[in-house]
A and B are shown apart, each in its own frame.
Chain A
Amino acid sequence: ETGVTQTPRHLVMGMTNKKSLKCEQHLGHNAMYWYKQSAKKPLELMFVYSLEERVENNSVPSRFSPECPNSSHLFLHLHTLQPEDSALYLCASSQDARASDSPLHFGNGTRLTVT
């Protein structure tokens, strides 16, 4: 049982499709994150939301668009993706947005395949 739930678990989409990934946390945390995990590469931080305000955007292409409507929900909107965007997308949350050493709690991820 994880306090961070991601849907869908698997997603296959064409390069012209538009889809969204959803993340929900039930831990009462106030910071949420999107990470990209590709084979043989480190986990890459994409976006950070602290108290529902985006505080980090690590040069992520505009075809990825995050949305954080409240402290419990996080979305990643996808459009016109490329095959190299195929990866595991992990959502995470941390308890205290003010503390940069607050442990991350990850979801199980969405395995995205772009055809």
Chain B
Amino acid sequence: GENVEQHPSTLSVQEGDSAVIKCTYSDSASNYFPWYKQELGKRPQLIIDIRSNVGEKKDQRIAVTLNKTAKHFSLHITETQPEDSAVYFCAASIAGVTGGGNKLTFGTGTQLKVEL
């Protein structure tokens, strides 16, 4: 099965700096890579996703890059703000019409702390 590794487990940055979280996956058939943000005591929420037909996707201060050859993808947050403090999870799955729902394999999460 798929195995997703995520690094670092904790990350502290100063407000305004950039943060980068990296994930690797094992199954070359995986082609859908979402990122979820979980604030303390709250539910995980999708913040951005990328499919293997593109190498980069941006949404305001957030971007995700994908290297299919190396089987790794990264989340980039620029101009970090205190409200970016949360746990971020990467995930991978094989997208397609299967009828079996979305069976994501998640990474272990990165606790991001943005300090004033």
Contact = CB atoms under 8 A, between A and B. Distances in A.
Interface residues of B, number: 31
The secondary-structure label for the interface of chain B is loop
Contact of A45 (B104, B107, B108): B104
A90 B89 CA distance: 14
Contact of B99 (A45, A98, A101): A98
Nearest to B95: A101
A42 B109 CA distance: 7
Contact of A42 (B34, B43, B96, B108): B108
A100 B98 contact: yes
Given A42-B109, A43-B106, A94-B102, A101 B45 contact: no
B102 A2 contact: no
B100 A101 contact: no
A50 B99 contact: yes
Q: How large is the interface on A (under 10, 10 to 19, 20 to 34, 35 or more residues)?
A: 20 to 34
Interface stretch (A13-21, A78-86, A106-114): A106-114
B11 interface: no
B43 to A, nearest CB: 4
Given A103-B34, A106-B45, A97 B101 contact: yes
Interface of B: 4, 9, 32, 34, 36, 42-46, 49, 51, 89, 91, 93-109
Given A50-B100, A100-B103, A101-B102, 14 more contacts: A40-B108, A42-B105, A42-B107, A43-B44, A45-B104, A49-B101, A55-B99, A55-B101, A56-B100, A56-B103, A94-B102, A97-B100, A100-B98, A108-B43
